[in-house]
């Protein structure tokens, strides 16, 4: 089982900015919201923890799971929004390329940024890296059901669930500090065949 959790809120998130490669820390409000969710026992107990290397994810991991030492997956950094990076609608509304991007329903590539295709391939590479790590662990232990935590970005969640799930990219949008519990199938202790891997959402966090 997998617990996909989006990092807590930053100031850029509050201001609805396109926050990608900018390595921004959690805001005080974001920290307080995470702590309130934790008090309400929103987050499931996990046995293993993986995270993006960006501050907003590693800081979230320390708040939610302070006793676990997460394994960092570099490929899970958020997408590079290019010219749109750290800007919001009000700052971009008169930009012709931005209006064209909006009309495409977010399908077009970000000017001077990362393509969604490349981003999804990068996220997939990180996921397969995690699967390899888990295969090594499961090969040494009895195959009891375990829950694996993943503290990542909204884009990472949308990429992986659209790749291995049954819905489209934007169907998996999730607020800061929330996420999904999913069932992972197709992972075994000898080889991880990408085409065998499936992820099914079973609950919301």
Dihedral angle over CA of 57, 62, 63, 64, nearest 10: 80
Whether the model pTM is above 0.85? yes
Half-sphere exposure of 116 (CA within 13 A, CB side): 15
Domains of the chain: 2-204 (3.40.50.1240)
Q: What is the pLDDT of residue 144?
A: 67
What is the tens place of the pLDDT at every residue in 90-134? 999 999 999 999 999 888 999 999 999 999 999 999 999 998 888
What is the tens place of the pLDDT at every residue in 133-190? 887 776 655 556 789 999 999 999 999 999 998 899 999 999 999 999 999 987 765 5
Q: What is the pLDDT of residue 37?
A: 97
Cβ neighbours, 10 Å, residue 111: 14
What is the tens place of the pLDDT at every residue in 21-43? 999 999 999 999 999 999 999 99
HEC letters along 64-129: HCCCCCCEECHHHCCCCCHHHCCCCHHHHCCCHHHHHHHHCCCCCCCCCCCCHHHHHHHHHHHHHH
Burial of residue 152, with CB atoms counted within 10 A of its CB: 0-12 exposed, 13-18 middle, 19 or more buried: buried
Q: What residue has token string 């997998």?
A: 2
In total, the chain counts a number of residues equal to 205
**Distance, CA of 55 to CA of 159 (rounded, Å):** 20
Dihedral angle over CA of 174, 176, 178, 179, nearest 10: 40
Residue 137: C-alpha distances to residues 13, 102, 104 (Å): 36, 44, 43
Q: What is the pLDDT of residue 102?
A: 94
Residue 78's nearest CA partner among 120, 34, 140, 26 is 120
Q: Which helix (H) or strand (E) holds 42?
A: none
């Amino acid at each position: 089982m997998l617990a996909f959790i989006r990092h807590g809120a930053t100031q850029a998130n509050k201001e609805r900015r396109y926050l990608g490669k900018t390595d921004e820390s959690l805001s005080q409000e974001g920290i307080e919201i995470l702590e309130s969710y934790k008090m309400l026992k929103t987050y499931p107990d996990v046995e293993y923890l993986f995270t993006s290397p960006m501050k907003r994810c590693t800081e979230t991991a320390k708040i939610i799971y302070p006793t676990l030492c997460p394994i960092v997956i570099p490929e899970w950094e958020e997408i590079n929004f290019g010219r749109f990076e750290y800007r919001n609608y009000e700052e971009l509304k008169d930009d012709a390329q931005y209006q064209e991007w909006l009309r495409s329903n977010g399908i077009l590539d970000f000017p001077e940024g990362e393509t969604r295709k490349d981003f999804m391939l990068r996220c997939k590479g990180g996921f397969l890296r995690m699967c390899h790590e888990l295969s090594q662990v499961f090969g040494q232990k009895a195959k009891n059901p375990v829950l694996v935590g993943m503290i990542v970005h909204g884009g990472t969640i949308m990429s992986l669930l659209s790749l291995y799930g049954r819905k489209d990219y934007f169907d998996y949008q999730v607020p800061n500090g929330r996420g999904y519990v999913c069932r992972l199938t197709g992972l075994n202790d000898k080889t991880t065949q990408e085409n065998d891997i499936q992820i099914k959402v079973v609950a919301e966090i």
